[in-house]
Structure 1
């Protein structure tokens, strides 16, 4: 029986791909799909899915355009998004993550891998319920995925939020680039330069934080704070 409290929206311009994914997942989740990318965002706001499976290359609206719309909307911005797409280049994958993707699975994929990644993203969402992290004047609400510095909200991308969460959870201790790549980017083929780039953006956004994100040469970063 489908878990009615777990809704998955599938967006792919090939209707057969939508049907296949829906058949694979419908024994566990309540699935909806559309092959018309221009209708995707209205379905997101209507169905309020717990997770979205999104194709990258589509006529009408590209997957990254839909992803951006979801992240910029207050009511949908925290919905996990997994891209499921074929023949994507490294640059395309990076652009997807920059627009807010949580994961990227290349076609052809193994069904078990897809299911495990979906479970992992939904599990992360469950674990975040009611949780909060704090360091000096910085506060992270892990349910709403909001960040406040000195009482003022700071807008972060999903990847920047995840990096900051890792740093705050390990405050005053080293977080290696390799750990960031492994736990935040997963199997996506990106380099340590992507970590450095996101850290630099993060520093600028939380510039009123009463602490520091320090680079540990050749290793990674440490969030230094006196609570």
Structure 2
């Protein structure tokens, strides 16, 4: 079955260009010219997409508002979202990631880049369902909550394991501090982000030689890159 992409974009030229190129790459795609129409399509079980391309600046419901809405709905909460934005500032990118986007692309962009990003995000989404992670040095069994570095057991607390799991299942993608706090501590947590930084530091220390699998993205958050 072909993977389907929902393009929510009010610029007809951009939408048609993406639609044409996705078709060439073997994907099915649907265009929605507004946030309201995109929401209706995404929430229809018969047409739920594999991935959503979402423009930030839409008439009516904004892309940011729509992204948050999609993340609250059980049918769409795990569907990958790539946000298109003309805003290249760091704060805008962080806001997009915090609203629930999996990736963002700044306009103007190369269609080839969008297609490559789509392939990467879809591959990542497929891996998220895997029961374990392995690379040459690090092994993580999500069901048994077991971590091994170079064949040695790594003893982690539940919070540390939850942090590592979230980062692994979003490999290559920056997780902002707020996203990690929301996903690991819960949306009701209003404490200092220094709590997160302390847990990351302890996690790295406990993992020893495998601690370099977590990269600090200055001013934003953290990213899992695997062991080197």
Cα RMSD (Å) of the superposition? 3.6
User: Higher strand share goes to which structure?
Assistant: 1
Aligned residues: 175
Q: 1:25-44 deviations in whole A, cap 9, x for unaligned? A: 11220010111222110011
CA 1:162–1:92: 2 relative to 1, 3 Å = farther
Contact 1:8 1:32 in 2 (8 A): yes
Structure 2 contact 4–51 (Cα < 8 Å) conserved: yes
1:19 aligns with 2:16: yes
Are residue 185 (structure 1) and residue 174 (structure 2) matched?
yes
Query: Aligned partners of 1:206, 1:14: CA distance in 2, in Å?
Result: 35
Cα distance between partner residues in 1 of 2:15 and 2:162: 29
Structure 2 unaligned spans of 5+: 133-141, 147-157, 189-194, 208-228
Contact 2:7–2:32, Cα closer than 8 Å, also in 1: yes
- CA 1:203–1:18 in structure 2 vs 1: closer, same or farther (change >3 Å)? closer
| Equivalence map 1:188-207=2 (5 Å) | 194-195=176-177, 197-202=178-183, 204-205=185-186
How far did 1:90 drift? 2.3
Partners of 2:33 and 2:76 lie apart in 1 by 20
TM-score (norm 2): 0.64
Which runs of no fewer than 5 residues in structure 1 stay unpaired?
138-149, 151-160, 170-179, 187-193
Please tell me whether residue 114 in structure 1 is matched to residue 114 in structure 2. yes
TM, length-normalised to structure 1: 0.64
Deviation at 1:106, TM superposition (A): 0.6
Matching residue of 1:145: none
